[in-house]
Amino acid sequence: MKKVLVLPGDGIGHEIMAEAVRVLDAVKEKFGLAIETDNALVGGSAIDATGVPLPEETLAKAKESDALLLGAVGGPKWDDLDMAVRPEKGLLGLRSNLELFANLRPAILYPQLADASSLKPEIVSGLDILIVRELTGGIYFGQPRGIRTLENGEREGFNTYVYSESEIERIGRVAFEAAQKRGGKLCSVDKHNVLEVTVLWREIMDKLAPEYPDVELSHMYVDNAAMQLVRAPKQFDVMVTGNMFGDILSDCAAMLTGSIGMLPSASLDANNKGMYEPVHGSAPDIAGQDLANPLATILSVAMMLRYSLGETEAADAIEQAVSKVLDAGIRTGDIWSEGCEKVGTRGMGDAVVNMLNS
């Protein structure tokens, strides 16, 4: 029996997670899968209930699970809290405690949604990029960090950007292996001309390259990579980069696909145990209004089944069901266009479940 821990989180997390669990239940029944789910608090909801963003009970359940399914965390309600107890610390705590160092973010443009992208269809049609982001190191975790008062009385904020050879090598191997299974092209993104950390980063990537002769390795500065994602995104197959650069570039790539509400992600440890979540946030402005697009979370279920639970057939079935729903012209508001049927969060979940059962 495989164990999945469901973490709805905050804002629209509860609505989109409800639909994702319905889809998981549907494939469990369809394929006879031995998967059980449990629920726990994280983020703002955990702060409200326990005073901390990652309760010990949640962490204990997470460690006992084979995979985690997360909605979203955070919102204006908790913005004035001290940085140490903000909702996002719950998410970072799960990543670090579970050693989920490899973040896989696909940016795929469904052909049915080519007109929804902010770029011209000929620029983005057929887009299929995988961004591999290092997730447990870099400036988000580096020490020392904080806000201090200088001798002249002025306050100064400081963070430390640091990566070890072993951290770079393990994320590099994930990226090279991903490229082997895709188009055989890997672009490593750094700031080699300014940051010593990324001088080392580039050295390690070059060192790994001969072990993967079937992969073409290239390097690109992060500012140029951001520009190229908008100018000619289909030049990329797999991109690999550090935590902060990956955070920014993956959100940039997400919008090429028409809606951030369409994109799943996986955060994996060395043994493919993972946490799966949509790349979008908690969107508190539309929470509880049946407006949120649940497809990114539903597609995260597919990634979970494929990478952590080894249920490829069920994963394929979910992805095919989503594609058929889009073929049928069913859309939530964020991807709606003239001539399509507009539905809410629950309606989109209904549509995917019905396709699975048809």
State how far the Cα of 183 lies from the Cα of 172, in Å rounded to an integer: 16
Catalytic: 28? no
State how far the Cα of 128 lies from the Cα of 237, in Å rounded to an integer: 7
238: left (phi over 0), alpha (psi -120 to 50) or beta: beta
Going by their DSSP bridges, the two strands 2-9 and 35-39 should be labelled as parallel
Pair of tokens at residue 257: 């696909």
Catalytic residue (choose from 25, 161, 234, 251): 251
Q: Are 116 and 335 in contact (CB under 8 A)?
A: yes
Catalytic: 140? yes
Pair of tokens at residue 84: 């140490």
φ, ψ (nearest 5 deg) of residue 105: -125, 100
Catalytic: 206? no
Catalytic: 38? no
Cβ neighbours of residue 154 closer than 8 Å, sequence gap 6 or more: none
Catalytic residue (choose from 223, 285, 316, 327): 223
Prior bond to 278 cis, omega within 30? no
Give 55's Cβ-side CA count (13 Å radius).
17
Q: What CA–CA distances, in Å, run from 4 to 91, 102, 308? A: 17, 19, 10
Catalytic residue (choose from 10, 66, 89, 140): 140
Catalytic: 247? yes
Cβ neighbours of residue 126 closer than 8 Å, sequence gap 6 or more: 109, 111, 234
Catalytic residue (choose from 89, 191, 273, 276): 191
Catalytic residue (choose from 247, 273, 276, 307): 247
φ, ψ (nearest 5 deg) of residue 194: -130, -40
* Residues with active-site annotation: 140, 191, 223, 247, 251
